[in-house]
């Protein structure tokens, strides 16, 4: 169940026309408005879980919205630890949640425990 | 694509300016226009994709008691301030995080712009953040601060959810609740945080009712206004707290419930409900009234704290002044700090609103121009006096976000008077 | 107003050496006061270091102290059930040049000769031991019983053990003077009052000369800052403590990586600041020996103060000219590891016994009495670029 967009803002008026772009999140295609934040595009698409944190694999997502808490961190085109609330959507971005423990490191093996 | 490409050092990209302003919110933008307008080369650094800071989410129309409305269009103000700064000659380094600040000044950045900026003077306008409200279940996706909800609705034009609950009763949470409601979210209510030491005063109904009474002049309900006038002077908030309707009263059409608290947020991957209970007059949850309310978004509100990492790294003396939000850099009447080439402006100096921040930006900008020899002592003093007058005026008409800002500023002024001009260790307001 | 009472022994300085010295003295039934000027124990080097507990790469004079200290750390962890995240996953000293490889080979032989289980590793064995090292690493010396702990948890645990044994810990209490009569200290003067006492232990690390001056002495060491940084949590890519190319890296239980490393020419002093060039070196050198560092960010950096001695080895001895004072300083960055052994040694010296752990090469007398180490150090130090 997702709530979608504010089509008619009480003060700012109708939602301006902005091209839609498609990016991927954890391999799945998502549509967003060009130039909005990744977190906003995901939220509008009904995706709120951005990553699973820690040993207990707790679902985490947008929290402070101003780039402070890093709970929304994602890997974009291979660059890790970017804030989804600060990074903007562009066509063909490959976005993944995290990184967090349990994810394979680049070019190496992991030790469990 | 080469995954490590982003990390390769392709040679240091260095920018040299007279003045670096860190933070492109209202204070930083206003300072930029002032400083660049005096012919000083100026860089404005911000980690965001566009200038404006918190202005970008501040769009509200709050009805006041006299029938007028207080309309504020933050993004428009941000665009105007940004245009002024650009026209004056300031250069913007956006999408850039300051990760290090070293004597000289040497500002080291991570992001899309230059990697290093050398500047003689600094204006630190880094703003403030909202403290977290730790309710069991608060880490679930779907739980956001009221600031994040505000950004979603006003900046990103995204609905936070279909049914919302707001935890924490203060002017900001009421305003955001109203904005969400106007945008089409069903706001079930604005309730209290769970009682206990974590939420502190904010979980005491008597305090909150006091606060609401203070805000009473803004309430469109004549009943509340009358009650406010009668009771506030007598500090009879005890009485009011106990006769306050359990179902709350409506402020701007949103149910506000100082006698009901959220105890727990529940969900699997995302929020699906919140557990509420009524509070006894001793401000304890009455578990017989505990019930689960289905919501798909929870917005929390807590106090704001100035973001003082950069002033601290720069060596500025900080003082803890609760009425201003926490630790603030000790500063003088023209926003000078205990470090000669560092100035501050905006909410980092103490949490206030955007119009105040804009005026402070002008003041700090003037102080920098004076320090750089672009204006005379006489001119500078005249400007300081003028802006101080405008600040006093603005504060009289400001949205009453925090009740004791004046006391906080007075304490700060006293601490400044007592501090030597340099090299003083951290001073606590308790030591005065 | 005197809020302190008299004690048989006063230990000055609440770091790992002071806390363990107090603990071991109390175990022997002595009435001990630990005096610390900060609001907490372990606020300086003992709480700021990366928690390394290693025997690898030790100078021969220091190896016995390191090996004994490992046993004592195990005692605190296992017998006393100390929850300070002490893991013995191993220490790997890396070589990134042929010259370094030859030096490591010789060092392995020497250390083995002193009874240490250390192995020279290369090729497929090295790859299996630590899969994510870069190809610039040619060989390594690996000590499997080495490891690391959480220093803040460790120091607080030891202080708690000391309290439970009857040590009185006076916090926010600064020593302002030492009263002497006939070559003996009779009382310790502090900003909270005076403590009449029979013996004093000076474990104030890089501030040891502030105390030494009170008895007219001066010890040959210089204070020198060292920096560390910590990254965001990572997937489990590293088990051991690795060092080479002037940096060291080690994992925490939460998955962060700690990065640190000093330099023999760093300027002396008490400035607890981070510098751009050092952070830069952590990033560049760290990523050079351990590429997974490129996939994370440093989130916090800090610094602590070391006491650097002329030969990089600790100085543990009786204070010259004072009958009833012992001290330990100059640990040169090894003090956390050797803290328990040093504390035990100091306790034994106070009790008038020959130390169980050999400290022959660690005595003050190895230096000429007229050595002006501060001047010598100053001459060879270089400010950072």
Contact B270 A48 (CB under 8 A): yes
Question: What is the pLDDT at residue B23?
Answer: 98
Question: What is the pLDDT at residue B19?
Answer: 98
Is C164 within a domain? Answer: yes
| Domain end call among C288, C304, C320 | C304
Tell me the C-alpha to C-alpha distance, in Å, between residue B184 and each of A46, B11, B180, B387, C350. 17, 51, 6, 41, 77
Mind listing the pLDDT tens digit for each residue in B165-209? 999 998 889 889 988 999 999 999 999 999 887 777 777 777 777
Pick the residue of C276, C278, C286 with the most B CBs within 10 A to test the interface with B by mutation: C276
Non-local CB neighbours of A79 within 8 Å, separated by 6+ positions? B3, B6
How buried is C332 (Cβ within 10 angstroms: 0-12 exposed, 13-18 middle, 19+ buried)? Answer: buried
Question: Which chain C residue has its CA at the smallest distance from B110's CA?
Answer: C297
CATH placement of domain B14-130+305-418 = 3.50.50.60
C-chain residues within 8 Å CB-CB of A80?
Answer: 295-297
What distance in Å separates the CA atoms of residue A48 and residue C309, rounded to the nearest whole number? 56
Q: Which chains touch C (3 or more CB pairs under 8 A)?
A: A, B
Q: Are residues C208 and C319 in the same domain?
A: yes
Contact C276 B4 (CB under 8 A): no
CB atoms under 10 Å from CB of A9, counted, come to 18
Non-local CB neighbours of C219 within 8 Å, separated by 6+ positions? C208, C209, C212, C315, C327, C329, C330, C364
Q: How many CA atoms lie within 13 A of C35 on its CB side?
A: 29
What distance in Å separates the CA atoms of residue B229 and residue B222, rounded to the nearest whole number? 11
Is the pLDDT at B432 greater than 50? The verdict is: no
Mind listing the pLDDT tens digit for each residue in A12-51? 999 999 999 999 999 999 999 998 999 999 999 999 999 9
Both tokens of residue B185? 């979210």
Is C352 within a domain? Answer: yes
What distance in Å separates the CA atoms of residue C178 and residue C186, rounded to the nearest whole number? 8
B325-353 mean pLDDT: 96
Q: Are residues C140 and C174 in the same domain?
A: no
Q: Are residues C326 and C200 in the same domain?
A: yes
Phi, psi of C300 (to 5 degrees): -155, 145
C381-385 mean pLDDT: 83
CATH number at residue C293: 3.30.9.10
Question: Which chain C residue has its CA at the smallest distance from B9's CA?
Answer: C284
What distance in Å separates the CA atoms of residue B322 and residue B345, rounded to the nearest whole number? 18
Mean pLDDT in chain C? 96
Handedness of CA B141, B144, B148, B150 (dihedral sign): positive
Contact A106 C296 (CB under 8 A): no
Question: What is the pLDDT at residue B10?
Answer: 42
Is the pLDDT at B365 greater than 80? The verdict is: yes
| B14-130+305-418 against B143-221+250-302: fold identical | yes
Is the pLDDT at B426 greater than 50? The verdict is: no
Pick the residue of B99, B116, B117 with the most C CBs within 10 A to test the interface with C by mutation: B99
Contact B152 A43 (CB under 8 A): yes
Is C343 within a domain? Answer: yes
What percentage of chain B carries pLDDT values higher than 90? 66
Question: What is the pLDDT at residue B283?
Answer: 82
Chain C contact for B7, CB < 8 A? yes
B-chain residues within 8 Å CB-CB of C298?
Answer: 99
Chain A contact for B51, CB < 8 A? no
Question: What is the pLDDT at residue B210?
Answer: 72
Handedness of CA A65, B142, A31, A73 (dihedral sign): positive
Q: Global pTM?
A: 0.87
Mind listing the pLDDT tens digit for each residue in C348-379? 999 999 999 999 999 999 999 889 999 999 99
Phi, psi of B289 (to 5 degrees): -95, 5
CATH number at residue C198: 3.50.50.60
Mind listing the pLDDT tens digit for each residue in C208-253? 999 999 999 999 999 999 999 999 888 889 999 999 999 999 999 8
What distance in Å separates the CA atoms of residue A13 and residue A84, rounded to the nearest whole number? 26
Question: What is the pLDDT at residue A2?
Answer: 59
Is C323 within a domain? Answer: yes
Chain B contact for A67, CB < 8 A? yes
Is the pLDDT at A8 greater than 80? The verdict is: yes
* SS3 category, C86: coil
Break chain B down into helix, strand, coil percent, rounded to 5. 40, 30, 35
A-chain residues within 8 Å CB-CB of B48?
Answer: 67, 86
Question: What is the pLDDT at residue B6?
Answer: 33
Q: Are residues C18 and C138 in the same domain?
A: no
Which of B4, B9, B106 comes nearest C276 by C-beta?
B106
Q: Are residues C212 and C226 in the same domain?
A: no
- Distance of alpha carbon B424 from the chain centroid: 27
Contact C294 B102 (CB under 8 A): no
- Tokens 């967003």: give the residue: A32
What distance in Å separates the CA atoms of residue B203 and residue B188, rounded to the nearest whole number? 19
Pick the residue of A99, A102, A103 with the most C CBs within 10 A to test the interface with C by mutation: A99
Is the pLDDT at C94 greater than 70? The verdict is: yes
Domain carrying residue C246: 222-304
A-chain residues within 8 Å CB-CB of C255?
Answer: 101
Tally of domains in chain C: 3
Q: Which chains touch B (3 or more CB pairs under 8 A)?
A: A, C
Closest CA to B22 of B47, B56, B52, B54: B47
Contact B159 A5 (CB under 8 A): yes
The pLDDT-based confidence of A71 (bands split at 50, 70, 90) is: very high
How buried is B134 (Cβ within 10 angstroms: 0-12 exposed, 13-18 middle, 19+ buried)? Answer: middle
Break chain A down into helix, strand, coil percent, rounded to 5. 5, 35, 60
Closest CA to B319 of B333, B309, B329: B329
Both tokens of residue C380? 């060879």
Contact C291 A107 (CB under 8 A): yes
Is C76 within a domain? Answer: no
Both tokens of residue B218? 């803004």
Question: What is the pLDDT at residue B242?
Answer: 59
Mind listing the pLDDT tens digit for each residue in B204-259? 777 777 777 666 655 444 455 555 555 554 444 555 555 667 777 777 778 999 88
Tell me which architecture the domain covering B143-221+250-302 has in CATH: 3-Layer(bba) Sandwich (3.50)
Kindly report the nearest CA distance between residue B99 and chain A, in angstroms: 13
Q: Cβ(A89)–Cβ(A20) under 8 Å? A: no
Handedness of CA C68, C69, C72, C73 (dihedral sign): negative
Is C129 within a domain? Answer: yes
C294-319 mean pLDDT: 94
B-chain residues within 8 Å CB-CB of C274?
Answer: 100
Residues 76-95 of A with CB under 8 A from C: 80-81
Q: Are residues C315 and C211 in the same domain?
A: yes
Q: Are residues C204 and C227 in the same domain?
A: no
Q: Which residue has the higher pLDDT, C273 or B41?
A: B41
B43-48 mean pLDDT: 96
Is C98 within a domain? Answer: yes
Q: Cβ(C132)–Cβ(C295) under 8 Å? A: no
The pLDDT-based confidence of C309 (bands split at 50, 70, 90) is: very high
Q: Which residue has the higher pLDDT, B373 or B201?
A: B373
Is C85 within a domain? Answer: no
A-chain residues within 8 Å CB-CB of C297?
Answer: 80-81
B59-80 mean pLDDT: 80
Q: Which residue has the higher pLDDT, C232 or B318?
A: B318
Domain locations in chain B? Answer: 14-130+305-418, 143-221+250-302
Q: Are residues C191 and C321 in the same domain?
A: yes
Contact B100 C279 (CB under 8 A): yes
Non-local CB neighbours of B262 within 8 Å, separated by 6+ positions? B135, B165, B167, B191, B192, B193, B194, B274, B275, B276, B298
C146-171 mean pLDDT: 98
| Domain end call among C144, C179, C206 | C144
Contact C276 B7 (CB under 8 A): no
Kindly report the nearest CA distance between residue B373 and chain A, in angstroms: 36
Q: Are residues C111 and C255 in the same domain?
A: no
Q: How many CA atoms lie within 13 A of B309 on its CB side?
A: 14
| Domain end call among C276, C304, C332 | C304
Kindly report the nearest CA distance between residue A112 and chain B, in angstroms: 25
Tell me the C-alpha to C-alpha distance, in Å, between residue C133 and each of A110, B189, B335, C124. 12, 55, 50, 12
Question: What is the pLDDT at residue B202?
Answer: 77
Chain A contact for C263, CB < 8 A? no
B387-412 mean pLDDT: 86
Q: Are residues C211 and C320 in the same domain?
A: yes
Chain C contact for A22, CB < 8 A? no
Question: What is the pLDDT at residue C2?
Answer: 66
């Amino acid at each position: 169940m997702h709530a979608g967009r504010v089509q008619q803002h009480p003060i700012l008026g109708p939602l301006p026309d902005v091209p839609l772009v498609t990016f991927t999140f954890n391999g799945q295609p998502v549509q967003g408005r060009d130039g909005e934040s990744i977190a906003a595009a995901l939220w509008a698409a009904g995706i709120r879980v951005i990553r699973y944190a820690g040993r207990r694999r707790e679902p985490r997502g947008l929290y402070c919205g101003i780039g402070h808490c890093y709970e929304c961190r994602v890997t974009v085109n291979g660059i890790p630890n970017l804030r989804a609330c600060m990074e903007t959507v562009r066509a063909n971005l490959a976005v993944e949640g995290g990184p967090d423990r349990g994810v394979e490191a680049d070019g190496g093996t992991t030790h469990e425990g | 694509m080469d995954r490590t490409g982003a990390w390769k050092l392709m040679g240091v990209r260095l920018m040299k300016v007279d003045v670096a302003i860190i933070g492109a919110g209202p204070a930083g933008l206003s300072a930029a226009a002032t400083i660049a307008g005096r012919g000083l080369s100026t860089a404005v650094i911000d980690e965001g994709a566009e200038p404006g800071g918190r202005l970008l989410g501040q769009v509200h129309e709050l009805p006041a008691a006299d029938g007028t409305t207080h309309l504020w269009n933050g993004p428009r103000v941000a665009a105007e301030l940004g245009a002024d700064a650009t026209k004056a000659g300031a250069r913007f380094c956006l999408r850039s995080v300051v990760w290090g600040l070293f004597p000289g000044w040497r500002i080291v950045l991570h992001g899309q712009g230059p990697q290093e900026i050398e500047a003689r003077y600094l204006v630190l306008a880094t703003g403030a953040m909202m403290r977290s409200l730790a309710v069991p279940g608060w880490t679930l996706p779907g739980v956001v601060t009221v600031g994040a909800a505000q950004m979603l609705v006003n900046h990103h034009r995204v609905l936070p959810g279909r049914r919302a609950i707001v935890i924490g009763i203060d002017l900001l949470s009421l305003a955001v609740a109203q904005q969400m409601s106007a945008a089409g979210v069903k706001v079930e209510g604005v309730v209290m945080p769970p009682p206990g030491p974590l939420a502190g005063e904010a979980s005491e109904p008597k305090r909150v009712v006091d606060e609401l009474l203070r805000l009473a002049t803004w309430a469109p309900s004549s009943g509340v206004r009358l009650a406010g006038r009668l009771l506030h002077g007598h500090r009879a908030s005890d009485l009011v707290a106990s006769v306050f309707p359990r179902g709350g009263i409506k402020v701007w059409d949103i149910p506000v419930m100082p006698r009901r608290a959220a105890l727990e947020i529940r969900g699997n991957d995302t929020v699906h409900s919140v557990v509420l209970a009524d509070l006894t007059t001793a401000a304890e949850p009455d578990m017989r009234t505990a019930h689960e309310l289905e919501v798909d978004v929870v917005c929390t509100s807590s106090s704001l704290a100035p973001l003082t990492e950069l002033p601290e790294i720069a060596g500025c003396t900080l003082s803890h002044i609760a009425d201003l939000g926490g630790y603030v850099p000790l500063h003088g009447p023209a926003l000078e700090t205990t470090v000669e080439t560092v100035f501050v402006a905006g909410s980092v100096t103490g949490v206030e609103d955007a119009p105040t921040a804009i005026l402070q930006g002008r003041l700090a900008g003037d102080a920098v121009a004076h320090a750089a020899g672009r204006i005379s002592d006489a001119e500078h003093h005249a400007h300081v006096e003028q802006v101080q007058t405008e600040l006093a005026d603005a504060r009289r008409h400001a949205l009453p976000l925090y009740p004791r800002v004046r006391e906080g500023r007075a304490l700060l002024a006293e601490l400044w008077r007592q501090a030597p001009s340099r090299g003083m260790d951290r001073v606590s307001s308790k030591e005065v | 107003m005197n809020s302190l009472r008299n004690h048989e022994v006063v230990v000055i300085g609440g770091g790992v050496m002071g806390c363990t010295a107090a603990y071991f003295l109390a175990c022997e039934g002595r009435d001990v006061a630990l005096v610390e000027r900060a609001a907490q124990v372990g606020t300086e080097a003992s709480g700021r270091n990366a928690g390394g507990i290693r025997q690898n790469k030790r100078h021969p004079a220091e190896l016995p102290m390191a090996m004994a200290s490992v046993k004592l750390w195990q005692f605190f962890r296992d017998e006393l059930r100390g929850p300070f995240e002490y893991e013995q996953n191993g220490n790997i000293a890396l070589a990134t040049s042929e010259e370094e490889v030859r030096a490591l080979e010789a060092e392995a032989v020497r250390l083995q000769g002193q009874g240490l289980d250390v192995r020279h590793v290369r090729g497929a064995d090295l790859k299996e031991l630590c899969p994510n090292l870069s190809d610039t690493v040619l060989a390594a010396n690996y000590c499997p019983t080495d490891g690391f702990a959480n220093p803040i948890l460790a120091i607080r645990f030891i202080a708690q053990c000391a309290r439970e044994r009857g040590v009185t810990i006076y916090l926010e209490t600064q020593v302002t003077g030492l009263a002497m009569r006939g070559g003996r200290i009779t009382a310790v003067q502090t900003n909270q009052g005076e403590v009449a006492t029979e013996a004093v232990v000076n474990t104030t690390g890089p501030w040891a000369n502030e105390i030494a001056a009170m008895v007219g002495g001066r010890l040959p060491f210089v204070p020198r800052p060292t920096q560390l940084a910590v990254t965001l949590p990572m997937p489990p890519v590293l088990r051991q403590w690795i060092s080479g190319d002037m940096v060291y890296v080690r994992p925490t239980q939460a998955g962060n990586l700690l990065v640190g490393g000093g330099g023999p020419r760093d300027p002396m002093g008490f400035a607890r600041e981070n510098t751009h060039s050092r952070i830069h070196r952590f990033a560049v050198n760290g990523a050079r020996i351990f590429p997974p560092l490129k996939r994370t960010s440093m989130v916090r950096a800090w610094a602590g103060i070391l006491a650097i001695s002329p030969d990089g080895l600790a100085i543990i001895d009786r204070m010259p000219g004072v009958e009833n004072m012992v001290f330990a300083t100059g640990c040169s960055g090894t003090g956390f590891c050797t803290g328990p052994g040093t504390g035990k040694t100091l306790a034994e010296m106070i009790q008038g016994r020959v130390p169980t752990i050999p400290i022959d090469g660690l005595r003050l007398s190895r230096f000429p009495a007229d050595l002006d180490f501060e001047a010598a150090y100053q001459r060879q130090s270089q400010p950072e670029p």
